[in-house]
Structure 1
Amino acid sequence: MCTTADSGEIIILSDDDDDDDDGKDCENDLSCLIVEVEDVKKTDCVSASAALDEDLVVTFFRPAEVLPHARYDCPIHPFTTTDCETGVPVPGNQLFCDQCFCYICDKLASSCVMWCHSEMCHCNGHKNSPFWHNLRNTALLGGLKPFNLSLSEIDSHLRCAETMLQNFRQELSERFSSYAKGQTLQEIGLPLLNMQGLVHNYTPVYEFVSLFLNKADQQDGRAAAILNLGAAREFVTHFQVQGAFVVQTPMNNAAEAKVLLMQRVIASVQRQMVMADFSAEFVHKLQDFYKNLYFPAVLRSMRNSLCVRPWDDVLLVSVLKGQNVSGVRKDKGKKDILIEQISVVLLRTELLQRQCRYRELCRYLRVVQTDDSSIFQELQDLIPFFMCMHGDFTSALTSLFPSVNAPASSLSPRSFLFYLHIFETATAPKLMVFRPAQLGCSAAKWELIESAVPLKRAELVKFALRAQRCCCAVYTDSQCWTSLLQIVNTHRGSLTALPAPSNQFLQEARDIVNSILLDKQSSSLQIPRFFLRGQYFQN
């Protein structure tokens, strides 16, 4: 079969085999059949694309908008990368569009004064070169670069701190130069005849640094730490200049002044590390900066003073959660021991009290090791109080009477009465304490302890008797005995004790007892010297 599309006619050629089919029409008998095709108007057939075009109307168009970008990413002007070409612009790199930024200055290329500057062409800068990357960090971080901070960590507070450090560095240099130069006796108001020589007084320098540290402590947490360490970096290099005369002022000696200033810096930064919400990465950067400082002989003992564990330290977290009761952890064959300076222990104790995390505080104090045993022992003696604040009176009683170094042995009568009232009423004042002597010395309001249940009378009596047995001061105090007798004489289910005897009765009873005991003729009693030394027989 053959067709012709151009002529508009269709020619059908039949086959001889078709003649044998009886069921065929007569048309099959023809060898050739010509069919005429009717012309169809093009308007009667609508293409699919034409139908879609009716739903789309183009009203206007505009070219793509070029957003701000670094010069090396410019879509208009090609850029040629080089490692550290600074002398002259690489051909084509000096060209820029309206949205091109200088990679080094981080501002529009049109406002960069070093764009094509000889010996430092910023137009060649790009991010794939370590040389240009370091140059960019130096330009953008300024005085903060020694802290190894990233640009994403820099905020407005740190920018302000960087400016403050620059001004401090310049003025401190001028003041130290004046100190090194010295002053004559006439200049300081001591006109001595026939006396020649210079006086070098470090006090003005010390006062200037102290004033700056005062301002630093008023800044944001991270900025305060940066300012303190930045100031330390400047004054640790100062040295003592010997003069012909010595002025008797508190901070005349530079070495002694540096020790006091560094102690203040360490105390401030330690507090920021513990109290502020610093990330572990930021804490490590502060510690690395501090370790790289120059430490003269008088300051070498402070080299490791900022070795403070972050709160998310693995060993510290396991101790606080009660998963580690030894304070020792082995990591890849190395033994890690929870040892912290007493200043850090005091800071953690303060923060955990503020957050009412008393159980975690007790776990920490039982495990941590420190460098001041006397202060630390006072903190450990407060564990019973912290357990009371947690609402666990049973553990508090156990902590008061351990087999070794029982806190109850050092109780004062006031502390005994303080604990007795807590156990009896299940109430306590909200205190910030660091030694047992602070218990009972506050006028704070007593509040109910959450989930705490008052002890029964038998348990209260047992506690009082054990405390009297352990502590001589409690045993010999009349008020402690009075409180115990009030508890014993209280009827079960009633908080009202028997009324106290009158003062007249007490005086008469005292006189009678004294007369009997001191009557050596009618009695063979021997009074122990311990009682004779006391105040029992004094009028």
Structure 2
Amino acid sequence: MGPSEEEKERDVILISDDEDDSTHGNSVLIVDPLVKTALEEKKCEEIVDEECELVVTFCKQANVMPHARYDCTSHSFERMECETCSPLGKNADFCSQCYCYICDKLASECQNWTTSSLCHCNAHNKSKFWKERRDFALAGVLVMFNLELTDIDADLRHGGNLLISFIQELSVEYNKYLIGVRIAPTEQECFCVSKLPPGQCGVCRSRSTEIVYKYSGVYALVTRFLNQAERESPKAAAVMLLGAAREITLHKDPAISWQNLGHTASLKLAVPCLLQRITTRLQKMLVLCDFPKSLYEKFVNFFQSISLPCHCFAFSNSLNVVPWDHVLLTTVLKGQNTTGQRTQKGRKTFLWEVLPVIEARVEKLVENKNYKEVVRYLRAVKCSDTKGLACCTACRLTPLQFEVYLKIFRTGSVPAGKDIQDPGPWVTVGSPMKDGVLIKQAFKLLYSNLSLYRNPKCWGSFIMIMGSSCFLERNGRLRPLTVKEPPVTFQQGVLVASDGLFQELKAKLNVSFPPGIFSQLHQEACLILAVQAVQQMVICELPYLTSFLEIFLAFGNNFWALRLLLNHLSYDKHILHGVVDLILRDLNRQKATMLKLWQNLGPQYVGEFVCLFLTCRNRILQSIGVLALDIITENLHVCPWAKHLYNFFHNARLMQLPLGATTHHEVSKFMDVLEKL
């Protein structure tokens, strides 16, 4: 049956999906029915175009199909690369079937069709600018992962949607963090030398009215988001984790000085903690999840493109995970390489992997029942985290056990009982360990156990043992030594000779002390090395320290070594303030303990201890001595020895020293109290 008369009056419409320049950018080609053609003259004949092999058998009125605005035949279109201020020419006009190139909606439904700074009516497919806008509109937040539209599936899009919502919530919470919280002056106790009632000291008031920035709210929000990500599909989870990593690394700490608020409230502690969780999860996913190679590479490249702040530099290469098809890994799994190393172009390379990656590979191999490959892999792979790969005794030591082991090394004696922690007599079983060997063994234990390294009790034990005799008393207790202060040239010589030594020990290198460092004044050299080690620890671990007073007390009567430590800590203002705040807090919390200790040690020790701080040039250190005087004054009824401090301070000519007006007043007031006893 031939076409009806109505059908004969319609156009022929040819649809093309080729957007090359050869089509002039048109998505449709229309044959106009108003132009008289040979088909209308000779309806029974066929028209054949031999060049394009197009055969037209009949014509009919065309239905106008949906098309991009730039392809509309009813309204002319002007092209520019990136005009967004206002519509060009008649670009704002559209027919009923014109679609927005950016929104992929009818032009009549586009909310940004003529909006200034957006102007979707000017969009077309020959502009790089508009193509990027279209990709972002279609891919959403996933565009930052450099994903092609063909890469995006339902899982990735779901993860992107969750990430967008998270970024919006995070922005609100982060802005709250930047505002900070003011603490009322009455909430802070006065720790200054003046010891005024709360709210009346100008120094403490200026401190306490500083804005405190607590990151806890942001930390909690990010943690909830990470928990949610771990319940999603691998692709969605990867997008969420990577997006979260990018957002938190952009956060800045507005505080002018260090605020010791804890690992969740301090940004510079919380962000690395969150980033550690994110990278560990991603490392395992890159091993366990069968991501397409292109997607795998784009995830890794995205993480490497993140600009990490200085407190997160340790994560720079976290996602450089060796893929399963890597040559070295493949040869190890097949048993062709048993050492995990190979030489390429004269350079040796090793199969090094972090512990989470090793655990994930073993999990994957066991799941596939490749048990031989598990054995080959574990024999060849190397890992810096020896604690996790093969936990040693040092990893499980408690602070008390650490002290007992050092005591054994120092004296060559052991407890007589079965349990090394039982109180009781000790018996000699060998020779004391040499000082250099003892120090290296102590730091091997400290560097193998982070909880020991950050524990002030362990540092107090180390200092106390290095300042004690290698011969025990009859009751099995250590015998503290009072070591005379060595010449300044000797102190400087030991510090210079041992420079970088502890960093090498931390890197688990086989180091040796410079020759002659323990040949003379070896006890003094041990204390100087202890001072240097404590200083380096404080610089790195101050935010994690819970107390500091016991480190000071561990020096005993060797006040010259304590003064050397104070001088070293004074080089950094923020470190010194942090240490002093810890000591003041310790003294206020442990008044009864300090009074009992001073009762046992006597007025000579108390006088030298207090004078050490009162005579410091740094005013903030003087506040420690003033607080000690206040504690004694408030508890004179249990300090019968306090009256002897009057003669001690008088003989030391303390009142004649340039202590500063406030400190001088406090000492004078204390002397007046003692004089009346």
Residue type of the alignment partner of 1:214? N
Residues 439-454 of structure 1 mapped to structure 2, 5 A cutoff? none
Residue type of the alignment partner of 2:179? K
Residues 274-313 of structure 1 mapped to structure 2, 5 A cutoff? 274-313=287-326
Contact in 1 for aligned 2:260/2:266 (Cα 8 Å)? no
Hey, what's the Cα distance between the residues in 2 that align with 1:157 and 1:371?
35
Hey, what's the Cα distance between the residues in 2 that align with 1:187 and 1:101?
63
Choose the corresponding residue for 1:127, options 121, 125, 136.
Answer: 125
C-alpha deviation, 1:76, in angstroms: 5.9
Q: In structure 2, do the counterparts of structure 1 residues 281 and 189 end up closer, same or farther at CA, with 3 Å as the change threshold?
A: farther
Contact in 1 for aligned 2:163/2:239 (Cα 8 Å)? no
Q: In structure 2, do the counterparts of structure 1 residues 98 and 254 end up closer, same or farther at CA, with 3 Å as the change threshold?
A: same
Residue type of the alignment partner of 2:165? N
Residues 82-161 of structure 1 mapped to structure 2, 5 A cutoff? 82-91=80-89, 93-161=91-159
Contact in 2 for aligned 1:148/1:285 (Cα 8 Å)? yes
Choose the corresponding residue for 1:362, options 375, 378, 381.
Answer: 375
- Counterpart residue number, 1:204: 217
Q: In structure 2, do the counterparts of structure 1 residues 307 and 166 end up closer, same or farther at CA, with 3 Å as the change threshold?
A: same
Q: In structure 2, do the counterparts of structure 1 residues 327 and 99 end up closer, same or farther at CA, with 3 Å as the change threshold?
A: farther
Cα deviations by residue, 1:430-475 (Å, 9 ceiling, x for unpaired):
xxxxxxxxxxxxxxxxxxxxxxxxxxxxxxxxxxxxxxxxxxxxxx
Contact in 2 for aligned 1:280/1:312 (Cα 8 Å)? no
Contact in 2 for aligned 1:203/1:249 (Cα 8 Å)? no
Tell me, yes or no, if structure 1 residue 345 matches structure 2 residue 358. yes
> What percent identity do the matched residue pairs reach?
40
Contact in 2 for aligned 1:71/1:101 (Cα 8 Å)? yes
Tell me, yes or no, if structure 1 residue 231 matches structure 2 residue 244. yes
Any idea what SS the aligned residue of 1:106 has? coil
Tell which deviates more after alignment, 159-168 or 213-222: 159-168
TM-score by length of 1: 0.51
Hey, what's the Cα distance between the residues in 1 that align with 2:298 and 2:186?
44
C-alpha deviation, 1:283, in angstroms: 1.8
TM-score by length of 2: 0.42
- Counterpart residue number, 1:166: 164
Residues 234-245 of structure 1 mapped to structure 2, 5 A cutoff? 234-242=247-255
Q: In structure 2, do the counterparts of structure 1 residues 208 and 237 end up closer, same or farther at CA, with 3 Å as the change threshold?
A: same
Contact in 1 for aligned 2:215/2:265 (Cα 8 Å)? yes
- Counterpart residue number, 1:519: none
Tell me, yes or no, if structure 1 residue 252 matches structure 2 residue 265. yes
Hey, what's the Cα distance between the residues in 1 that align with 2:72 and 2:338?
60
Hey, what's the Cα distance between the residues in 2 that align with 1:285 and 1:162?
15
Q: In structure 2, do the counterparts of structure 1 residues 97 and 333 end up closer, same or farther at CA, with 3 Å as the change threshold?
A: farther
Contact in 2 for aligned 1:319/1:367 (Cα 8 Å)? yes
Any idea what SS the aligned residue of 2:306 has? coil
Hey, what's the Cα distance between the residues in 1 that align with 2:245 and 2:384?
24
Residue type of the alignment partner of 1:172? L
Residue type of the alignment partner of 2:119? C
C-alpha deviation, 1:278, in angstroms: 0.9
Choose the corresponding residue for 1:273, options 276, 279, 286.
Answer: 286
Residues 498-517 of structure 1 mapped to structure 2, 5 A cutoff? none
Hey, what's the Cα distance between the residues in 1 that align with 2:185 and 2:151?
48
Hey, what's the Cα distance between the residues in 2 that align with 1:332 and 1:67?
62
Greater helix proportion: 2
Residue type of the alignment partner of 2:223? S
Q: In structure 2, do the counterparts of structure 1 residues 245 and 258 end up closer, same or farther at CA, with 3 Å as the change threshold?
A: closer
Hey, what's the Cα distance between the residues in 2 that align with 1:294 and 1:371?
25
Hey, what's the Cα distance between the residues in 2 that align with 1:158 and 1:100?
30
C-alpha deviation, 1:242, in angstroms: 4.4
Hey, what's the Cα distance between the residues in 2 that align with 1:127 and 1:313?
40
Contact in 2 for aligned 1:93/1:124 (Cα 8 Å)? yes
Hey, what's the Cα distance between the residues in 1 that align with 2:283 and 2:224?
19
Unaligned runs of 5+ in 2: 1-43, 46-57, 190-197, 392-677
Hey, what's the Cα distance between the residues in 2 that align with 1:188 and 1:215?
41
- Counterpart residue number, 1:511: none
Q: In structure 2, do the counterparts of structure 1 residues 112 and 349 end up closer, same or farther at CA, with 3 Å as the change threshold?
A: same
C-alpha deviation, 1:243, in angstroms: 8.6
Any idea what SS the aligned residue of 1:152 has? coil
Residue type of the alignment partner of 2:358? V
Q: In structure 2, do the counterparts of structure 1 residues 222 and 329 end up closer, same or farther at CA, with 3 Å as the change threshold?
A: farther
Cα deviations by residue, 1:273-314 (Å, 9 ceiling, x for unpaired):
122221121122122221222322221011100111333445
- Counterpart residue number, 2:420: none
Q: How many residues matched?
A: 322
C-alpha deviation, 1:227, in angstroms: 1.1
Any idea what SS the aligned residue of 2:150 has? helix
Cα deviations by residue, 1:103-156 (Å, 9 ceiling, x for unpaired):
211222221122233443323322232111122223333332221122222333
Hey, what's the Cα distance between the residues in 2 that align with 1:107 and 1:304?
43
C-alpha deviation, 1:62, in angstroms: 5.3
C-alpha deviation, 1:95, in angstroms: 4.5
Residue type of the alignment partner of 1:291? Q
Task: Quote the RMSD (CA, aligned, Å).
Answer: 3.8
Hey, what's the Cα distance between the residues in 2 that align with 1:84 and 1:244?
46
Any idea what SS the aligned residue of 2:232 has? coil
Residues 313-332 of structure 1 mapped to structure 2, 5 A cutoff? 313-322=326-335, 327=340
- Counterpart residue number, 1:216: 229
Any idea what SS the aligned residue of 1:153 has? coil
Hey, what's the Cα distance between the residues in 2 that align with 1:170 and 1:119?
23
C-alpha deviation, 1:83, in angstroms: 2.4
- Counterpart residue number, 2:475: none
C-alpha deviation, 1:356, in angstroms: 1.2
Cα deviations by residue, 1:9-61 (Å, 9 ceiling, x for unpaired):
xxxxxxxxxxxxxxxxxxxxxxxxxxxxxxxxxxxxxxxx99xxxxxxxxx98
Q: In structure 2, do the counterparts of structure 1 residues 348 and 140 end up closer, same or farther at CA, with 3 Å as the change threshold?
A: same
C-alpha deviation, 1:262, in angstroms: 0.8
C-alpha deviation, 1:370, in angstroms: 3.1
Q: In structure 2, do the counterparts of structure 1 residues 248 and 119 end up closer, same or farther at CA, with 3 Å as the change threshold?
A: closer
Contact in 1 for aligned 2:188/2:199 (Cα 8 Å)? no
Tell me, yes or no, if structure 1 residue 264 matches structure 2 residue 277. yes
C-alpha deviation, 1:348, in angstroms: 0.7
Tell which deviates more after alignment, 360-369 or 72-81: 72-81
Q: In structure 2, do the counterparts of structure 1 residues 248 and 128 end up closer, same or farther at CA, with 3 Å as the change threshold?
A: closer
C-alpha deviation, 1:233, in angstroms: 1.6
Hey, what's the Cα distance between the residues in 2 that align with 1:336 and 1:80?
59
Hey, what's the Cα distance between the residues in 1 that align with 2:258 and 2:88?
63
Q: Which has the larger radius of gyration?
A: 1
Hey, what's the Cα distance between the residues in 1 that align with 2:317 and 2:181?
37
Hey, what's the Cα distance between the residues in 2 that align with 1:99 and 1:333?
67
Any idea what SS the aligned residue of 1:308 has? coil
Residue type of the alignment partner of 2:236? A
Hey, what's the Cα distance between the residues in 1 that align with 2:177 and 2:368?
47
Q: In structure 2, do the counterparts of structure 1 residues 266 and 79 end up closer, same or farther at CA, with 3 Å as the change threshold?
A: same
- Counterpart residue number, 1:458: none
Residues 484-523 of structure 1 mapped to structure 2, 5 A cutoff? none
